[in-house]
Amino acid sequence: MTSNSDDLVISSDPLHPANLIPELCRSFYKLGWVTGTGGGICIRAEDKVYIAPSGVQKERIRPEHIFVLPFPQPTPSPHTDRVFLRRPARNLKESACTPLFWNSFDLRDAGSCIHTHSQHAVMATLLWPGPVFRISHQEMIKGVRVAGTGPALSYLDTIEIPIIENTPHEEDLKDSMASAMREYPNAAGVLVRRHGVYVWGLDWEKAKTQTECLDYLFEIGVKMKLAGIPTTL
């Protein structure tokens, strides 16, 4: 039954998901990843999923703004009529990324998923006109895992991140994102052309680390491309 009780989101534990999400959003805001209310994050903790609200100033989110959903969701949720354990008392809407976050749970068994509007990610989708971004022989590749949840990649590996086309509404990306994840089973994220990127991990730490590493690789890949340097060897 849906409740607006704060019991699920008020905790003195700094590592509680409802405390972590506002902290991480402030950090991502400073990086330019979630400005203009864009972007989002979710954390799955056992049978509960904590999700930031949509259309709000991400650097000003507080624990009481967090939505809590049960995991797994009964069919056909979370893509239509979602079941909530807790909604904020304020008139807020759960992240528009919710069905895409669920792709990371269902297809990768992820514990957290991050969506950014990083300019580096957007530029990568513009300079790689095809369906995939590729880069190899970069030290930061070692911070990315196979499929986002498997063993760590090596310096010698070539990273492939699929690129899907954007849609006017975020939730309409769900099926194309799922298709890309199936076509590229080793990918740790999915780029959305002229939009941003989704990155997941086994937990919030690994999702954050991989988002940072991929953002670095997008940035240096763009610089290499513009300088006429091949991004793969």
The answer to whether 9 and 52 have CB atoms below 8 angstroms apart is no
For residue 33, CA distances in Å to 27, 36, 120, 157, 162 come to 9, 9, 10, 26, 19
Contacts of 224 (CB under 8 A, 6+ apart): 135, 230, 231
Q: Which residues pair with 163 in a beta bridge?
A: 191
Q: Which residues pair with 41 in a beta bridge?
A: 114
The span from the CA of 120 to the CA of 141, in Å, is 16
Q: State phi, psi for 227 to the nearest 5 degrees.
A: -90, 0
139 noted as active-site residue: yes
The span from the CA of 131 to the CA of 164, in Å, is 7
Of residues 23, 139, 165, 205, which has the active-site annotation? 139
The span from the CA of 46 to the CA of 163, in Å, is 30
The span from the CA of 52 to the CA of 93, in Å, is 9
Give catalytic residues, as residue numbers. Answer: 139
